[in-house]
Structure 1
Amino acid sequence: MRVVATAAVLAFGLDQLSKYIVIHAMDLVHLHSIEVFPPLLNFRYGENTGINFGLFDGGEQTGRWVLIGLSLVICAGLSIWARRLPKHFGLLLSVGLVIGGALGNVFDRVIYGYVLDFLNMSCCGFHNPFVFNVADVFIFAGAAGLILFEGRVKKAG
């Protein structure tokens, strides 16, 4: 469980640090947009009250607390599941990344009422209107790792 806890703490910390630096220290909250490596990477300020890509973005307080509760239940379930897993570093690391990323977004919802987003990536003539954050990257990477490593653990066992 040490791998899970360490990965979760690092993912949470890096997410919150990135949000503080970009949104507050670099003043994205007032600038609204900073070109970093256009068009590939830009910082654009976003407040997401829904889930990925603004889905279920009703802006209601009930939805906020439902998403917080659901995220906490998923984190608890992953923690319990991780205790039963074989000691596979990649699988445990993936669980920790999902938990840390989810808790980073939960923290935002509790403190601000929405998730702070700032990363925007576009490429090859495609303009992506959506923004995301470092927590979302960790959640995605962790989920991909769960799929990849869980199948390998089953084959090895």
Structure 2
Amino acid sequence: MKFTKRTLYIILVIVVTIAVDQISKVIVRESIEPRTEVSPGERIPVIGDMFVMMNVENTGAFLGMGSDLNPTLRLIVLLILPIVVLGFVLRHILKDKTIDKWSLFAFASIIGGGIANVYDRIVYGSVTDFFFIDLGGVFRTGIFNMADVSVTAGMFILLFASFKNKKKATITE
């Protein structure tokens, strides 16, 4: 594989995404008492009760989905399938030179966030989540981490880029 500026850019975005996520999780694991079955854990208000940090080990996927699956199915759904999908997406963005810069950044962010969470599942058996947002009951999130932020931001950027590209294609027709 030839290392072009484009390839290095993709690798850089993925590596930075993984690094930010893993560093933030190390800090949380070392400094915030985790929530367990017998302890509610430590809750650190960042902006009142609207933005709170805590330490939750999530054995499932998004919002704990899949944590009740049997071990074999959890291995397939939460480890093998994501690794295969991330591999195909990485292969696609490395080969398809027509992908615009915003979409390239978005895909690389999604891959980096996905790899970071898969790494946690392999090494720790769970994913460390620590952010929680509650805007007075109007908007409330589950507990999430920086990898989730990268994946979600990547999805929004892809959505925006797809509308932008569709509009550009309609104008040129």
**TM-based fold match above 0.5:** yes
Query: Does 2:95 match 1:55?
Result: no
* SS of match in other structure, 1:29: coil
- Could you say which residue in structure 2 is the equivalent of 1:74? 85
Unaligned runs of 5+ in 1: none
Relative distance call for 1:151 and 1:133 in structure 2 (3 A) is same
Report the Cα offset of residue 77 of structure 1: 1.4
Relative distance call for 1:45 and 1:6 in structure 2 (3 A) is same
Contact 1:23 1:118 in 2 (8 A): no
Larger Rg: 2
* SS of match in other structure, 1:100: helix
Whole-Å separation in 1 of the counterparts to 2:89 and 2:152? 15
Question: Larger deviation: 61-70 or 89-98?
Answer: 61-70
Matches within 5 A, 1:4-153: 4-24=10-30, 26-29=31-34, 31-58=41-68, 60-66=70-76, 67-82=78-93, 83-125=95-137, 128=140, 130-153=142-165
Report the Cα offset of residue 20 of structure 1: 0.7
RMSD across aligned positions (CA): 2.1
User: TM-score when scaled to structure 1?
Assistant: 0.87
Aligned residues: 156
Contact 1:64 1:109 in 2 (8 A): no
% same residue: 28
Unaligned runs of 5+ in 2: 1-6, 36-40
